[in-house]
Amino acid sequence: MSEIISMDVRTSSEKQRIGRILDGKREEYAWFVNTYSQEVLGFTSRLVPDAEDAREVAQDAFVKAFRSLASFEFRSSFCTWVCRIAYHESMNRLRRQQPHYVDMTEIPAVVDDEELSTGREERIALMEEAIDDLPPDERTLLHLYYYEDRPLREIAYIMDAEPNVLATRLHRIRKKLLQMIKQKENE
């Protein structure tokens, strides 16, 4: 995969700091942890419901990143790279705890995009509940795409998937959400 995320000023500063770490200046580790711990912990806590587990996953992600720092190719920012590691760590942990997910292929294709956005208050409240019921990876995908507005290529890097595959998944999740909302409205 070629360079997928454009390098910003922060990334070039990170590059210098990583170079210093590789030269033996260990104090630079602390800078990365202090700068990105909140963001990475927030990311893992959305994926892993238990706060203690989320903290462990975040720490493991930092440790793994630092240990393989020499192999970091700067295809993303350091934080995105750690989030990618954290995502895989989280999913592995969740798979061990909760091995079965809903098979999305069984969700019937019944709605179009217009029906999902009505602007009605009660629909938004039901949508919130429906999002809570989604599996962690789908919730994360929605959050990264709609709330954080990250480019699909960057989300694909974090979730280790092709962008077109993620686009299809987003489409299916929206249909699934509408189905879940309709069920809630009928209850």
Partner 1 sequence: MNELKDQDLREALRRREARRTKPEVPADFCDSIMEEIAPKKSSRTVWRWMAVAASILLLIAVGVTIAPKSDDDTLVAEHVKQEPKGSPTTVQTEKTVSTDALNTVYKQDEPAVQTVRTKANSAPKSQEKEVERLEAVDNHQETVVSSQETIPHLHYAAYVPMEDSTYQAPSRMDEFIAKMAAFNKVEAVAMDCTPGDSLAVGKAYVFDDKQELDLFGRLLQAACWYDSKTPGYLLNFSHQQFFFTLKDLHKNEKYLWIAERIVGGRILLYSSHSPIETDISSACYQKYREQLTQTNFSTLHF
Which residues contact partner 1 (rule: CB under 8 A)?
A: 26, 29-30, 33-34, 37-38, 41-42, 45, 51, 54-55, 58-59, 62-63, 66-67, 113, 116-120, 123-125, 127-128, 131-132, 142-143, 145-147, 149, 151-152, 170, 174, 177
Q: Determine the Cα–Cα distance for residues 7 and 10; give it in Å rounded to an integer.
A: 8
Q: Tell me the three state secondary structure of residue 150.
A: coil
Contact partners, residue 161, CB within 8 Å, separation at least 6:
169
21 with 69: CB under 8 angstroms?
yes
What are the phi and psi torsion angles at 57 (to 5°)? Answer: -65, -40
Q: How far is the CB of 99 from partner 1 (least distance, A)?
A: 26
- Residue among 29 and 100 whose Cβ is closer to partner 1: 29
- Residue among 117 and 183 whose Cβ is closer to partner 1: 117
- Residue among 22 and 124 whose Cβ is closer to partner 1: 124
179 with 111: CB under 8 angstroms?
yes
Q: How far is the CB of 140 from partner 1 (least distance, A)?
A: 11
- Residue among 12 and 118 whose Cβ is closer to partner 1: 118
